[in-house]
Structure 1
Amino acid sequence: MIATRIGTKLRGLAMGAVLAGSAAVMATPSMAEDWSGQVTLYGWGAGVTGDFTPFSGAPTLSFDKSLSEVLEDLDGAFFVTGLARRGDLVLFGDYTYSASSRSGVVGGAIPAAGELTIQSLTLAGGRRIDVGGGGTLDVLAGLRAWGLEGSVTSPVANLAPEQSFVDPIVALRSLTPVSDRVSVLAYLDVGGFGVGSEFTWLGTVTANYQATDSVYISAGWRHLYVDYAEGGTAFEGAMTGPVIGATLRF
């Protein structure tokens, strides 16, 4: 139910992101080549870390920051990325889902339980640069659409606010071959700039093994941060943790 409600919001936000991402790459020259692409699905051992205030005057729910406690709070997390390329034209997409829950005591004596579900959809486009030795660097710009749904339940209040917003982002994505079958992929973007959130950034590093001509296995680490406050709802925190996934190239 949570994923369905936020997913409906993100579909509307995604339309604007698609248009902006397309505009960002219309001026990018590309060679007369066929399209190629890839899709990667990851399992993500990432819970929410940070502080969440669902409503002005409501208790703040803090999620733990050690990895063992993060995984204890975690209800579920995954993400999927996709990339399409023609010549030096690159289109990139990323969808993230994470749900965490926490219970404890707030205000020194009030028992409370809370849940926080975060979804994000990143769409960007830009240009690929050949850096030599088989390595590439993608320079990208686009948008990240967010959906936040939280709840805090206590003897004094039951609150369940929802927020959606869109951030502009700029990004770099690099691929570095290590051997014939092993490579390292690094991705970093920054955004927000007070447009949607105050600030957001996403970083991912994975080691990748080519199992077949079209299938790759990856493992690494991913961290997604956002600092957002609007209408009494505030969240400053991140989803962070190890990832393992599989990529299909076509």
Structure 2
Amino acid sequence: MQLNRFVSWLAVTAGFMASSLAAADFDQQRFPDEKEWRVIVSPYVWAASLKGNASLAGFDTDVEVPFSDTFDHLDLAFMGNVEVTNGTWGAFIDLQHVKTSQGEELQSQQLDLGITMNTVEGGIYYRAYEAALGGETVFGQPRRLSVEPLIGVRWSQLKGTVEALGRKVEKQSDWWDPFVGLRVNLDLSDRWNLFTEADIGGFDVGSKFTVNAQSYLGYRTMMLGQPTILRAGYRVLYQDYETNDFTGNRFRWNVTQHGPVVGLSMQF
């Protein structure tokens, strides 16, 4: 039972962190005729719940954990990305860090479990298609529909710590997942924007297969004198990763993470 809980919390943290809410989540703000490189800073929060199954140390367990359970044991979390773009080409890097801990009793002994997940994602995209929709946004840009293919890679690292009877054991696993995808930006009005992105990855390089889909409604405004988009939406991410764990048995992470996302993107 305690081992199954440990596996579930491994999956919870991965779902909270897995992959990224890529910098692609935010519409690049371009002023007319400007092609110089600009920087976009985007903090966000993904409140992910998990459903699937996982295996660790020869034990299989079902994973069905709401975000509220993760939040109850959360010690520290940071999610954000930085993007540079000239309106045609762009590159992004996304950094994520989540640390959870919990205490349990096992046969009258205190058992402390700690999970830390680090994810670094980077990629490039290209604005392959653009169509004018008429009118301008509140930032003085023409309203547009744009389509942007993207390619990238995601590195995930999972650390698990167990402390009991005066002993502390720490194990970790990390893997790389390449991915390819497409994102679409649509200016609904002078202030409202719709962003949708989908990508697939893994390809047996790291995970066997991954699928990511996300969509966000954005509102343009000014914050601290800078053009900013406030975003709210929903994201679904499926990952199927398998390797040998520290016991020599199969470690498998076959989980779908899903939940609401909120954030903002500020251009400098």
SS in 1 for 2:240: strand
How far apart, CA to CA, are the structure 2 residues paired with 1:79 and 1:71? 15
Question: Secondary structure at the residue paired with 1:193?
Answer: coil
Q: Is 1:81 matched with 2:81?
A: yes
Q: For residue 219 of structure 1, what is the amino acid of its counterpart? A: A
TM-score, normalisation: structure 1? 0.69
Cα-Cα RMSD: 3.4
Percent sequence identity is 26
Alignment of 1:1-250 (within 5 A): 33-54=35-56, 56-57=57-58, 59-66=59-66, 78-99=78-99, 116-132=115-131, 133=133, 134-150=144-160, 160-212=170-222, 214-232=227-245, 233-250=251-268
Q: What are the ranges of 5 or more consecutive residues in structure 2 without an aligned counterpart?
A: 1-32, 105-110, 134-143, 246-250
Tell me if the contact between 2:49 and 2:65 (Cα under 8 Å) persists in the aligned partners.
no
**Structure 2 CA distance for aligned equivalents of residues 142 and 163 of structure 1:** 21
Q: SS of the counterpart of 2:128?
A: strand
Structure 1 contact 46–71 (Cα < 8 Å) conserved: no
Do the aligned partners of residues 152 and 190 (structure 1) sit closer, same or farther apart at CA in structure 2, a change above 3 Å counting?
A: farther
Q: Secondary structure at the match of 1:179?
A: coil
Give 1:198 deviation, angstroms. 0.6
In structure 1, give the amino acid aligned to 2:155.
Answer: A
- In structure 1, list runs of 5 or more residues that go unmatched: 1-30, 105-111
Question: Offset at 1:61?
Answer: 4.8
Partner deviation per Cα, 1:192-221 (whole Å, 9 max, x = no partner):
010111112332221111121512211112
Aligned to 2:30: none
Q: Displacement of 1:68 after TM fit?
A: 5.5
Structure 1 residues 228, 100: closer, same or farther in 2, change over 3 A? Answer: farther
The worse-fitting range, judged by mean Cα deviation, of 179-188 and 116-125 is 116-125
Question: For the residues of structure 2 that align with 1:52 and 1:113, how far apart are their CA atoms?
Answer: 21
> Which one-letter code corresponds to 1:35 in the other structure?
W
